[in-house]
Copies of this chain bind each other. A is one copy, B any other.
Amino acid sequence: MDFKVSGSLFTSAMSDINKVISSRSVIPILSGIKIVANENGLTLTGSNSDIFIERIIPSLINGEKIVEISEFGNVVVLSKYLNELLKKLPDDIHMKSDFNGSITIKSGNIETKLNGFDSNEYPKLPEMDSDNNVKVPFGKLMEAIKQTGFAVSKSESRPVLTGVKMEFQQNKLICTATDSHRLARREVHIESEIQQSFVVPSTSLSELMHLKESESSNVDIYYTNNFIVFKTANSSLYSRLIEGSFPNVQALVPSESKSTITINTKGLMEGIDRACVFSTEWKNNNVNLKIVDDARIKIASNATEVGMIEEYQEIIQIDGQNDIQMTFDGRFMLEALKGIQEENVTISFGGMMKPIVIKPQHSGACLNLISPLRTY
């Protein structure tokens, strides 16, 4: 292997991959980055055993030569050191593999060698069947993940809840996540002919969100029984799927409510954020919400050792009872509200110890369910 490339271009292509690679991986070779030079240009691959990320630096961009390859080949070298080094070298980089798997990098008067691994030992990427494929606009997919991913379970006790369920139906994608105390669900309209559902680890989805792609570009999704691949113009992210059956969450969504209020999204979010200052000493960030009368709600929180806060906010519209009071996890409320772009939200109260439903005022595509906390 022997090629010349701009160091800054290489580093920027590496950056998404380098984040995934742990320098203390249990499988030593996974602390390395795989570099392949062939007729397509350079392909960089990194993995943390759950995820593989592959990134291509094409030989030509807009007709301009980006990579000058004089010998094809491949190497695996320690990602952390390569990354640190490239940041500190001048921009003209000449990389060359040695017989023993190490590489020599020359740049101006500087010569450096990095030890490598036997690249034949690098795990093979799973093969994908190009028939099992669906295309999704990147922006829409990101929005659906952002509006659900926060609600996954942080505990490994039920692994299936640590993932986001992605359900493809006729012209529809439904993303759902729940940690059994709250639920987030988001439907997006896409062009799809497949009927399939997958549970994708939320850690893989957050890496996917970090890929720098334009909102309007498309993601090709390929899948097998165990793996899913998100393929964008220059990157591919391979993720394992989580096995096990995802709970039937549709049945949890209450069909009726005792009271539904409409309220300003930003105002409510700021109010709950303030209340959370005092809620941190509670295990569940207790924040109390009370419908005072037809016109006002009160948001309150108190911490005996520290102090208390209470504030009133205007109700835009109310349908039903005006004497409801409940305590929620303030962080759950905040995370649910953060994903809502509409000016106003509706909150439906199902009654004592029943979950509340938070929705944007006009769109039914986004839904959040939060269970109240017991305060006794």
Contact = CB atoms under 8 A, between A and B. Distances in A.
A110 B88 CA distance: 51
A290 to B, nearest CB: 14
- The winner among A85, A102, A108 for most chain B CB atoms within 10 A is A85
15 contacts: A81-B307, A85-B277, A88-B274, A88-B277, A102-B307, A109-B312, A109-B313, A110-B309, A111-B309, A111-B310, A112-B308, A112-B309, A113-B307, A113-B309, A115-B307
A311 interface: yes
Closest 5 CB pairs of A and B: A112-B309, A110-B311, A114-B307, A113-B307, A88-B274
How often does this chain occur in the complex, in copies?
Answer: 2
A319 interface: no
Contacts of A108: 311
A81 B309 contact: no
Interface in A57-103: 78, 81, 84-85, 88-89, 102
A101 to B, nearest CB: 12
A306 interface: yes
Interface string A240-279: 0000000000000000000000000000001101100110
Contacts of A311: 108-111
A305 B115 contact: yes
Contacts of A274: 85, 88-89, 110, 112
Given A78-B306, A81-B307, A307-B102, A270 B88 contact: yes
A140 B114 CA distance: 44
Interface in A29-54: none
Interface string A109-125: 11111110000000000
Interface string A298-309: 000000011111
Contacts of A114: 306-307
B308 A81 contact: no
A109 B297 CA distance: 11
Given A81-B307, A109-B312, A112-B310, 9 more contacts: A84-B277, A85-B277, A88-B273, A88-B274, A88-B277, A112-B309, A113-B309, A115-B306, A115-B307
A356 to B, nearest CB: 22
A8 to B, nearest CB: 15
Kindly name the residue among A305, A308, A313 whose own CB sees the greatest number of chain B CB atoms within 10 A: A308
A109 B312 CA distance: 6
Nearest to A89: B274
A188 B309 CA distance: 52
A303 to B, nearest CB: 9
Tell which of A108, A271, A278 has the most Cβ of chain B within 10 Å. Answer: A278
Contact of A81 (B84, B110, B306): B306
Interface string A138-169: 00000000000000000000000000000000
The listed residue with most B CB atoms (<10 A of its CB), out of A115, A277, A308, is A277
Nearest to A304: B115
A112 B108 CA distance: 63
